[in-house]
Amino acid sequence: QKEVEQNSGPLSVPEGAIASLNCTYSDRGSQSFFWYRQYSGKSPELIMSIYSNGDKEDGRFTAQLNKASQYVSLLIRDSQPSDSATYLCAVRPSGGSYIPTFGRGTSLIVHP
């Protein structure tokens, strides 16, 4: 069973701080990595995708991938209350399967 692990949280940060969300995965050959945001009662929506080692930045969001250590993280700079949501990590494994495996999500609370 290929696994994706996330700390369920909640992770609580003050407004304006950096929120750091982490995800580890078991399949060393995994190819594609995705971060989705899910507001309560809504469906997931993609924030970032990353495919190669290193950092990828998009506005206040930075995804970091380290394939040797098998982890991917999401940094949210200048966190806002509107960032309060559950963040889902998804990993597409190796071996020809293109079905992404989702972590259980980390709940983020940004308090004013």
Q: How far is CA 96 from CA 31, 59, 92, 99, in A?
A: 10, 33, 10, 9
Query: 10 Å Cβ neighbour count for 108?
Result: 22
Q: Which is nearer to another protein, 15 or 45 (CB)?
A: 45
Shortest distance, CB of residue 30 to another protein, whole angstroms? 12
Shortest distance, CB of residue 99 to another protein, whole angstroms? 6
Shortest distance, CB of residue 15 to another protein, whole angstroms? 27
In this structure, the strands spanning 106-111 and 11-14 are parallel
Shortest distance, CB of residue 17 to another protein, whole angstroms? 26
Binding site for another protein (CB under 8 A): 8, 31-32, 34, 36, 42-46, 49, 51, 88, 90, 92, 98-100, 102-105
Which of 51, 47, 59 has the alpha carbon at shortest distance from 21?
47
Q: Which is nearer to another protein, 25 or 34 (CB)?
A: 34
Q: Which is nearer to another protein, 93 or 110 (CB)?
A: 93
Q: Where does the chain have alpha helices with state H?
A: none
SS3 state at 40:
coil
Cβ-contact 91, 71 below 8 angstroms = no
Q: Which is nearer to another protein, 104 or 111 (CB)?
A: 104
